[in-house]
Amino acid sequence: MQPSLPSGTLLQSRYRLLKILGQGGFGRTYLAEDQARFQERCALKEWIPLQSGTYSLAKSQELFQREAAVLYQIQHPQVPQFRALFEQDGRFFLVQDYVAGSTYRTLLQDRVQQGFVFSEAEVLQLLRDLLPVLVYIHGQGIVHRDIAPDNVMLREADHKPVLIDFGVVKELVTRLQFSHSHSPVTTVGKLGYAPIEQMQTGRTYPSSDLYALAVTAVVLLTGYEPQDLFDDTTLTWHWQALVSLQPGFTQVLTRMLSQRPSDRYPSAQEVIQALQPLMTAVPHGLAATINHGTQPPHSALSHLQTVAVGGRPQPLPQSHRVPHSPDPMVPLPSRSFWENPGLLIPTGLVVAVLSGYASWSVVNALVNQGNLSPTLQPTPMNSASPLPTLTPKASVSVIPVVQIRPLELVTGQPLSQEGVLEASAPLIYRFTATKGQILKISVDGKAARITLLDPNQELVDRRAEGVRHWQGSLPLTGQYSLQLSPAPGIAESDYQLNIDLSNPAKPTPTPTTSPSPLDPSPTPSPTPTPTLSLPPAVEYDESTVQFGGGDTAQVSGQTSRQRVKRYRVSGQEGQMLQLDIREGTATLEVRDTSGQLIPGATGAPSWQGKLSSNGDYLIDIIADQPTDFTLEISLQN
């Protein structure tokens, strides 16, 4: 590993380093002054490559530039602005706005040392401030992937929470670091905070961020880490007994923590709507004490360390936690207690009476206090620890692990596979092939999509991601991965996968005539140059759309698997593009100005989204059979 750069170092004749802010698995973060912006402070994140060599550095630079386009899309006051990307002396740097403040991890540690955690009012306010940020980034087709107390900062200037350290950067670094390794650890996210689909398959959805945000809320409310609250044998959470919340808030967090993505809220906007009635129902200005009268069932829970691929989060110091001292008058229930109806029923009645009396007392006290001060000063509470709510824990369905199936392909013998695809259980077919062999793949099914990865787990080419058919010459010898999944937004789909692997046609040389023995000087016949006969590639019939005097155009044509109809639309950043196939059995594939498929813009007959940059966008009309279609295109400011 290269040593850190000393203070005063000038990079790119512009950025002067002031000090190191932190260091982890991702690399180092420096505080710097931008001399081209009146000494404005900025954060420089240095990635430390695990591999060296000309090829690795060139590959790193290529991938960094590709991902920079994603970061440039984010323009929100609660996200540090991505400013620049540069390489100097084999070191790679990301430049972002500097945020002065403290992470919620640091704030929680400070409170735990004093015996306090965050109150319900404070956590509700945090969600109210952060959920609109998620609405924005999800609308840009971006998922944060790494929400946790470490990656949310309370900004000093306006006391607003700020999202930092997007997982898209960490995923990029992880791919680079393990690109030549056989290690299977290539996903990004913190164990305990990231949902199971993200940790097992690497797939993320907007609801994946909502899950991580709910875990963050529970950690701030209880002072316990996820591994203390989650039972990985039954995939259930045990946190409700540690904190007293409004029933509506508990229901919202419980749904956000659902194991299946389809059981969570589909969008951050829906969470905002669900929380709206609760925003004015909780008093402000109170910090909560840590509830140690009820301990999480440590004996039944996982003790796996919460470690992210990009680095290890700073745990809450054990020496700073208030000792667990359950009320001697109310011992913790053992497992046999729950199985004894004779004890369970009367105890439940006692709990109900005590809870009702306690609730009346709290409400009466709050009414007598009048208006509370908005200052968030911790106020110790010497009340007795509440009893746990005797509510049976609901069972949670387990998300299937990603399915990996080997394929034995024989050249010249087409193979078909069929079944049912689920969004929660992606399917990967793996097969071995030789460089230069010709592969034809197609999938039949209204919502099934295929992605083809080479032995280095990279796309075979730009046409091999989220498509229904692909044909071409394989670039490498080794094991290929064929990922099969439903189109975005589709929970389940039937499919039939057709695969045909063949060797390239060998040239047939023209035989030459042997000279007669009587002719001492035969003239040799020229041998024709052999030609290879390859299957026809996909052709694109491209047209440019002209809107005339309005903002809507309607075009018609024919498309097929071998000859795809493509339309080119020139748009401006911020404009809303809306597409709708009015006639014909076909689907859309929309590519941005760099030629990359737009997330969520494949496999459906209609699409709507905000343009991220100025330039030409490509719209492909996809169909298995020759199909006539009519497409309506709307482009509005």
Which pLDDT tens digit goes with each residue over 383-432?
Answer: 333 433 333 333 333 333 456 788 889 888 999 998 888 765 668 888 98
3-state secondary structure of 240: helix
In single-letter form, the type of residue at position 137 comes to I
- Is position 174 within any domain? yes
CATH number at residue 117: 1.10.510.10
Q: Are residues 495 and 616 in the same domain?
A: no
- Is position 52 within any domain? yes
User: Mean pLDDT throughout 151-176?
Assistant: 79
Q: Report d(CA 159, CA 156) in Å as an integer.
A: 5
Q: Are residues 157 and 68 in the same domain?
A: no
Which range has the worst mean pLDDT, 13-22, 105-114, 579-588? 579-588
Q: 45 a known binding residue?
A: yes
User: Mean pLDDT throughout 204-209?
Assistant: 93
**Residues, the chain:** 637
> What pLDDT is stored for residue 11 in this prediction?
95
Q: Are residues 55 and 185 in the same domain?
A: no
User: Mean pLDDT throughout 25-31?
Assistant: 81
In single-letter form, the type of residue at position 172 comes to L
pLDDT: which is higher, 527 or 116: 116
Q: Are residues 561 and 487 in the same domain?
A: no
Q: Are residues 29 and 135 in the same domain?
A: no
Kind of pairing, strands 91-97 and 82-88? antiparallel
| Per-residue pLDDT tens digits for 429-452 | 889 898 989 999 998 876 678 889
> What pLDDT is stored for residue 329 in this prediction?
30
Per DSSP, the residues of 159-225 read: --EEE-S-HHHHHHHHHHHTTT--------S-BTTB-HHHHHH----HHHHHHHHHHHHHHHHHS--
Q: pLDDT-based confidence at 126, cuts 50/70/90?
A: very high
Q: Are residues 34 and 148 in the same domain?
A: no
Q: pLDDT-based confidence at 111, cuts 50/70/90?
A: very high
| Per-residue pLDDT tens digits for 283-311 | 554 455 555 444 554 433 333 333 333 34
CATH number at residue 17: 3.30.200.20
Q: Quick one: DSSP state of residue 25? A: S
> What pLDDT is stored for residue 50 in this prediction?
57
User: Mean pLDDT throughout 237-263?
Assistant: 95
- Is position 453 within any domain? yes
> What pLDDT is stored for residue 352 in this prediction?
52
> What pLDDT is stored for residue 393 in this prediction?
32
**Tokens coding 484:** 């099969």
pLDDT: which is higher, 491 or 206: 206
Q: CA of 156: how far to CAs of 29, 98, 153, 305, 353, in Å?
A: 19, 12, 9, 31, 44
Q: State which of 24-38, 105-119, 507-521, 575-589 shows the largest mean pLDDT.
A: 105-119
Burial of 271 (0-12, 13-18, 19+ CB in 10 A): buried
Domain boundary among 280, 308, 331: 280
Domain boundary among 280, 308, 334: 280
Q: Are residues 31 and 147 in the same domain?
A: no
Q: Are 441 and 451 in contact (CB under 8 A)?
A: no
- Is position 527 within any domain? no
Say yes or no to pLDDT of 334 above 60. Answer: no
- Is position 387 within any domain? no
Q: Which domain holds residue 569?
A: 539-636
CA neighbor of 211 nearest in space, from 307, 167, 147, 269: 147
- Is position 41 within any domain? yes
Percentage above 70 pLDDT, the chain: 65
Per DSSP, the residues of 280-326 read: TSS-SS-PEEP--SS---GGGS------BTTBPPPPPPGGGSPP---
Q: Are residues 574 and 552 in the same domain?
A: yes
Q: Report d(CA 447, CA 593) in Å as an integer.
A: 25
Q: Report d(CA 110, CA 116) in Å as an integer.
A: 9
Catalytic residue among 97, 110, 146, 158: 146
pLDDT: which is higher, 83 or 520: 83
Domain boundary among 228, 254, 280: 280
Q: Are residues 222 and 172 in the same domain?
A: yes
Q: Does residue 146 have an active-site annotation?
A: yes
> What pLDDT is stored for residue 25 in this prediction?
58
In single-letter form, the type of residue at position 143 comes to V
CATH number at residue 474: 2.60.120.380
**Tokens coding 471:** 């044909």
Per DSSP, the residues of 350-410 read: HHHHHHHHHHHHHHHHHHHH-SPP-S-------PPPPPPP--PPPP-PPPPPPEEEE---B
CB count within 10 Å of CB 523 equals 7
Say yes or no to pLDDT of 489 above 70. Answer: no
Q: Are residues 109 and 256 in the same domain?
A: yes
**Tokens coding 503:** 């060797």
Q: Are 597 and 466 in contact (CB under 8 A)?
A: yes
> What pLDDT is stored for residue 381 in this prediction?
38
CA neighbor of 445 nearest in space, from 415, 473, 413, 422: 422
Q: Report d(CA 51, CA 56) in Å as an integer.
A: 7
pLDDT: which is higher, 520 or 156: 156
Q: Please, which contacts does 181-188 make with residues 24 or more away whose CB atoms are closer than 8 Å?
A: 185/309, 186/309, 186/457, 187/309, 188/145, 188/146, 188/308, 188/309, 188/310
What is the tally of structural domains in the chain?
Answer: 4
pLDDT: which is higher, 186 or 62: 62
User: Mean pLDDT throughout 156-184?
Assistant: 67
| Per-residue pLDDT tens digits for 77-94 | 999 988 888 888 878 888
User: Mean pLDDT throughout 582-586?
Assistant: 85
- Is position 318 within any domain? no
3-state secondary structure of 34: strand
> What pLDDT is stored for residue 256 in this prediction?
98
- Is position 517 within any domain? no
pLDDT: which is higher, 346 or 408: 408
User: Mean pLDDT throughout 474-478?
Assistant: 88
Q: Are residues 630 and 496 in the same domain?
A: no
Q: Are 343 and 334 in contact (CB under 8 A)?
A: no
> What pLDDT is stored for residue 190 in this prediction?
76
Q: Helices (H), strands (E): how many in the chain?
A: 11, 30
Q: Are residues 167 and 273 in the same domain?
A: yes
Q: Report d(CA 257, CA 237) in Å as an integer.
A: 8
The dihedral sign for the CA sequence 239, 245, 248, 249: negative
Mean pLDDT of the chain, nearest integer: 75
